[in-house]
Amino acid sequence: MEGKKLSKRPTKRRPVRIGLDLDGVIIDKPPGLPNWALTRLVRERTKTELAYRYPSSALERSIRWLSHHPLLRQPIWNNLRDIRTIAGTYEFYVISGRYSFLRGRTKDWLQTYDCAGLFQGVYVNLNNRQPHRFKESMIRKLKLEMFIDDDEAQIDYLRTRLPKLRIIHWNGTRSVRSLIQAP
Ligand SMILES: [Mg+2]
């Protein structure tokens, strides 16, 4: 036993704090819209850095708002089930880059699918910042240890900015639960 430090009493382990992106991880894409089209709709055309467009016209905002009706946005059932199953052993925080005009929609969605109490917190991009920067600052503020996202560009950004964070790219091939619980 020499040189080995033994703790006097078992230390109570703090649950691991995990951040979840919303669209593409918990909420499915609207039906019939291919990924490239979706990216083109929201991404700014710049080659130098990652940038998203804030819909500047009221018309475009209403169209986006309509398309975010909870019934048009089904949950990704497997992921939701996984999270429900392990919610007691982890702390889950939703961090979504959704802009402020989707706040009500997001609340409605969580109620529709009975998820309101599932997460320790749900954070929406109320100040309409660039979504990846908003995520970065929330991850820091909440001191998250893990973050799950589906978007490669955002993951690349977060990886360079938060090298200590364990980032999981969810691309539909493995279950969220097995990815979280992998050593
Ligand atoms: Mg996403």
For 54-98, what is each residue's pLDDT tens digit?
998 999 999 999 999 999 999 999 999 999 999 999 999 999 999
What domains can you pick out in the chain, each with its CATH number? 16-181 (3.40.50.1000)
Strands of 35-79 (E only): list them: none
Q: What is the pLDDT of residues 137-180, one digit of tens each?
A: 999 999 999 999 999 999 999 999 999 999 999 999 999 999 99
Structure confidence at residue 43 as a pLDDT band (50, 70, 90): confident
CA of 6 to the centre of ligand 1 (A): 44
- Residues with CB in 5 Å of ion ligand 1: 21, 23-24, 150-151
pLDDT for residue 51 is more than 80:
yes
Distance 22 CA to ligand 1 centre (A): 6
Give this prediction's pTM.
Answer: 0.87
Q: Report CA(29)–ligand 1 centroid distance (Å).
A: 9
Amino acid identity, residue 24? G
